[in-house]
């Protein structure tokens, strides 16, 4: 049981380049999330999805797009990377929202550097 798998693990981009981060979960969870983690700033929500075909903006959505075409996959896209997007990106999933008995399950992150 792999849980939440993120690819790639590391990536270096030049300013203006684009890329897509892939998140896959095998737990049949309805909700999926993308967070970024920066030193001293905790985890900030970028976008999330409450089910296949749905997406919604989180706390810091600018410069990112997402898609949830299949229930098990949640893609995060950067159309024109900027140095401010240098961060560690975490995908998470949960069975149904974030209530009791529905904790977040995180992947191991993608470390992105934009030069």
Partner 1 sequence: QQQVKQSPQSLIVQKGGISIINCAYENTAFDYFPWYQQFPGKGPALLIAIRPDVSEKKEGRFTISFNKSAKQFSLHIMDSQPGDSATYFCAANTNAGKSTFGDGTTLTVKP
- Contacting positions for partner 1 (CB under 8 A): 4, 31, 40-45, 48, 50, 58, 90, 92, 94, 97-100, 103-104, 106-109
Cis peptide before 29 (omega within 30 of 0): no
Nearer to partner 1 (CB atom), residue 53 or residue 103: 103
Q: How far is the CB of 34 from partner 1 (least distance, A)?
A: 12
**For residues 14 and 115, is the Cβ–Cβ distance under 8 A?**
yes
Strand order through the sheet with 64-67: 4-7, 19-25, 73-78, 64-67
Nearer to partner 1 (CB atom), residue 13 or residue 107: 107
Q: How far is the CB of 58 from partner 1 (least distance, A)?
A: 7
Nearer to partner 1 (CB atom), residue 31 or residue 74: 31
Q: How far is the CB of 6 from partner 1 (least distance, A)?
A: 8
Nearer to partner 1 (CB atom), residue 14 or residue 39: 39
Structure tokens at 34: 């993308």
Cα–Cα distance, 6 to 13 (Å, whole number): 17
Cα–Cα distance, 18 to 16 (Å, whole number): 7
DSSP letter, residue 70: S
Q: How far is the CB of 15 from partner 1 (least distance, A)?
A: 26
């Amino acid at each position: 049981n792999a849980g939440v798998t993120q690819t790639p693990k590391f990536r270096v981009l030049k300013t203006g380049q684009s890329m897509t981060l892939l998140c896959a979960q095998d737990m049949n969870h309805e909700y999926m999330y993308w967070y970024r983690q920066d030193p001293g700033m905790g985890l900030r929500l970028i976008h999330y999805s409450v089910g296949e075909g749905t997406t919604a903006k989180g706390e810091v959505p600018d410069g990112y797009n997402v898609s949830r075409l299949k229930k098990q996959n949640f893609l995060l896209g950067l159309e024109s990377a900027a140095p401010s997007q240098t961060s560690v990106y975490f995908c998470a999933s949960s069975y149904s929202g974030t209530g009791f008995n529905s904790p977040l399950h995180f992947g191991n992150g993608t470390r992105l550097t934009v030069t």
